[in-house]
A and B are shown apart, each in its own frame.
Chain A
């Protein structure tokens, strides 16, 4: 288990190697990155096995504070500052460690991240080629960024203190910027990359302030110590609420929660495998992970929990409605991700810790699969507008089947993974929150199934779009990776059931305070299943068979549809705010800087000195007798003065 640190370090090590020697290696050094993450994936299983056989008596392990789950910590000192040997609690000294925490949450994230990253990197070998089969000219950089991305994410997941987490957090942000803007020859990816970076950075400020606030109260960046302080009542309720909300601000930025969701749909400008990675395993998962990791903090404040749940619900519902009307295949998937991240946040806010993490995993597999499928479609057809597509299963059957599995899984069709995790979320929401929440969550679930049905039926079924007669199906590197993800999208949900053996089911593995088996609330499960199946049948009739004509309804709801198609004008509101408020304020500040600080404050003394010098310079004639006369007159003056004084 101690060797878990190797998982990110291997990928980190691959980065400079690929950058330096990639050009001279076969396939531009991409095998290095793939081998690194493959080794990471292998080590993950070793760590997992070690963790399952560990007990609180194992060295470094204990029952975690807050979670009550087995937690193993390993660390070495990174740096110390302050008075040597002083006590850390009153800020005379700080100790920061390169440390890792291994608990069920970490294990789950490690598994998801290494697996999806491995699939995505192998898939990219097929995807990052042009139609003649040549590699992208900057493939080495692409793989270097990928390795750095996943290494940062793994560090984030393993970090046992907030400072290390923050470092990794920012690295993840940097990598998303680099990869979204990977094709920076075109203007849109550049803009999208900047948008992603800036929007998430706004949230990151909150995260940093929150971390520092916690440190100022606890005197340590260590998560264990922070949670212990909360448990022991050292922190006041106000501090807990404020710091939880600040941390949540960071999570909102990274996990694209309303109103910071605007960057994620634009991030579609990056290569599609990058979208798969961002949406499933890294980046957006980081926000949900942060809230789950800091759950002892969040759950100690009812206000924070309610805010998390409300923001989650708003995001889930809003994004789902946009996904219903979006016409770009990748954007449908992007808004679907935002919606599902909202559901995870909602679940966390409803104390559904297990459900949220479970859904993060189930969604991760399904969404990675869907994106890789969309990438396959795009790779073959160079088309993303779903209105131009149709009946593609005739020319790309493998992609069609695999995409459909992902869509059905995410849509919540029974026994596929998404069904189980969504059901757990609904149960948690039903148990903890007012009735309006469960109603709206069910609506979201219905929409979620609807837009998945729409994306699947419009693109792959129905009338065949003739212009795609000659497109080919995905190459092996792409179809095999999608197939592996599809297996998980199908069977992963079965972990929700009570299983025999040491791994008794996800509820006994990832839990907060106490483990529990599958909770079935009959009407919730029945209703959600009914809604999902109804949505897919409706989707089949409306989009594949075209036996339900939607044009009439479209006319009736034209105004509503327009608002949703314009993404609730959030981008426009931001643009207006930036143009009118931010820029005018900036102009005023720039004026203050130029007119007051520069012209008066800096040039003022300079001008005075220069003018004074101009006036005074004429007494320096350069003639010896002037100086001599001045000296003589000075002497005489002194003599007279002396005489007057001494008299």
Chain B
């Protein structure tokens, strides 16, 4: 059996890659994709922890799986919303480069 740590390392690596993507990318589409990556890193972490806990007691614990399902659902909705916003952004400003969208300040 693959040890839990392996999953956690994978999860952390994916999360870090996602975070890097959010901060480093200029395209709003890529930023959304990076956010998805981070969400899925969390999902892996949750499911791994849940299945690892399965073997430890009489009663199986499904909490991790349930939260993962929630995350997937919310992520799907969020992507839909996010992509819609990006689309509107593009329609208005003919660009999805977030550096050029810097009006939310003083």
CB–CB A628/B99 < 8 A: no
Q: A624-B31, A629-B23 are in contact. Are A617 and B106 (CB under 8 A)?
A: yes
Look across to chain A and name the residue whose beta carbon is closest to the beta carbon of B16: A632
Interface residues of B in 4-31 (CB under 8 A from A): 19, 22-24, 31
Which residue in B19, B22, B23, B105 is a CB contact (below 8 Å) of A621?
A: B105
Q: B24 contacts which chain A residues (CB < 8 A)?
A: 625
A624 with B98, Cβ < 8 A, contacts A629-B23, A632-B19, A632-B23 known: yes
Residues of A with C-beta under 8 A to B31: 624
Mark out the residues of chain B between 51 and 106 whose CB falls within 8 Å of any chain A CB in the assembled complex.
Answer: 98-99, 101-106
B105 and A622 contact, CB distance less than 8 A: yes
CB neighbours (8 Å) of A628 from chain B are 19, 22-23
**Bound Cα distance A622, B22 (Å):** 15
Chain A 608-630: CB-based contact to B (< 8 A → 1; otherwise 0): 00000000011011111100110
**Contact residues, B25-45 vs A (CB, 8 A):** 31
Taking a contact as CB atoms under 8 Å apart, the answer to whether B102 and A622 are in contact is yes
Give B106's nearest chain A residue, CB to CB: A617
Contacts of A624 in B (CB 8 A): 22, 31, 98, 101
Q: How many residues of A contact B (CB 8 A)?
A: 11
* A625 lies within 8 A of B105 (CB): no
Among residues of A, the one whose C-beta sits closest to the C-beta of B105 is A622
For B23, give its contact among A617, A618, A620, A625 (CB under 8 Å): A625
Distance of A232 from chain B, by nearest CB (Å): 75
Whether A620 contacts B106 by the Cβ 8 Å rule is yes
Residue of B with least CB distance to A617: B106
A621: nearest residue on chain B (CB-CB)? B105
Chain B residue nearest to A629 (CB atoms) is B23
**A residues near B19, Cβ cutoff 8 Å:** 628, 632
Report Cα–Cα, A620/B104, bound state, in Å. Answer: 8
Cα A624 to Cα B22 in complex, Å, equals 9
Within 8 A of B (CB), among A371-410: none
Q: How far is the CA of A129 from the CA of B79 in the complex (A)?
A: 90
By secondary structure, the A interface counts as helix
Is A623's CB under 8 angstroms from B98's CB? yes
Chain A residues closer than 8 Å to B103, beta-carbon distance: 622
Measured between alpha carbons, how far is A283 from B14 in the docked complex, in Å?
A: 95
The reply to whether B23 and A622 contact each other, CB–CB distance below 8 Å, is no
Distance from A88 Cβ to chain B, minimum over Cβ atoms (Å): 63
Q: How far is the CB of A315 from chain B (nearest CB, A)?
A: 71
For the complex, give the distance between the alpha carbons of A151 and B59 in Å. 96
Shortest CB-to-CB span from B105 to chain A, Å, is: 4
Q: Please provide the chain A residues from 595 to 647 with a CB less than 8 Å away from any CB of chain B in the complex.
A: 617-618, 620-625, 628-629, 632
**A623–B23 Cα gap in the complex (Å)?**
10
Q: Could you say which of A622, A625, A629, A632 contacts B104, with CB atoms under 8 Å apart?
A: A622
Using CB atoms, name the residue of chain B closest to A627.
B104
Q: How far is the CB of B62 from chain A (nearest CB, A)?
A: 26
Q: Is the CB of B106 within 8 A of A625?
A: no
Q: Which residues of A contact B23 (CB under 8 A)?
A: 625, 628-629, 632
B106: A residues at CB distance < 8 A? 617-618, 620
Question: In whole angstroms, how far apart are the Cα atoms of A275 and B106 in the complex?
Answer: 69
Contact of A623 with B99 in the complex, beta carbons under 8 Å: yes
Give Cα A620 to B103, complex, Å: 10
Bound Cα distance A624, B102 (Å): 8
Complex formed: what's the CA distance from A559 to B98 in Å? 95
Q: Distance (Å) between the CB of B89 and the closest chain A CB?
A: 12
Task: For chain A, residues 106 to 152, give those with C-beta under 8 angstroms from any C-beta of chain B.
Answer: none
Asked if A621 meets B102 with Cβ closer than 8 Å, knowing A628-B22, A629-B23, the reply is yes
- In the bound assembly, the distance between CA atoms of A625 and B20 in angstroms comes to 10
User: How distant is A625 from chain B, measured CB to nearest CB, in Å?
Assistant: 5
| Docked CA distance A618–B102 (Å) | 13
How many Å lie between the Cα of A187 and that of B106 in the bound state?
57
Q: How distant is A94 from chain B, measured CB to nearest CB, in Å?
A: 57
Q: Min CB distance, B13 to chain A, in Å?
A: 15
Among B31, B98, B101, B105: residue with most chain A CB under 10 A: B105
Looking at the assembled complex, report how far the CB atom of B40 sits from the nearest CB atom of chain A, in whole angstroms: 17
C-alpha gap A628/B98 in the complex (Å): 12
Interface residues of A in 188-233 (CB under 8 A from B): none
Out of A618, A620, A625, A632, name the residue touching B98 (CB < 8 Å). A625
User: What are 28 residue pairs bridging A and B, where the CB atoms are less than 8 Å apart in the complex?
Assistant: A617-B105, A617-B106, A618-B106, A620-B104, A620-B105, A620-B106, A621-B102, A621-B105, A622-B102, A622-B103, A622-B104, A622-B105, A623-B99, A623-B102, A624-B22, A624-B31, A624-B98, A624-B101, A625-B22, A625-B23, A625-B24, A625-B98, A628-B19, A628-B22, A628-B23, A629-B23, A632-B19, A632-B23
The 5 closest A-B pairs by CB, nearest first: A622-B102, A622-B105, A617-B106, A620-B105, A624-B98
Given contacts A620-B106, A623-B99, 10 further A-B contacts (CB under 8 A): A617-B106, A620-B104, A620-B105, A621-B102, A622-B101, A622-B104, A623-B98, A623-B102, A624-B101, A628-B23
Residues of B within 8 A of A (CB): 19, 22-24, 31, 98-99, 101-106
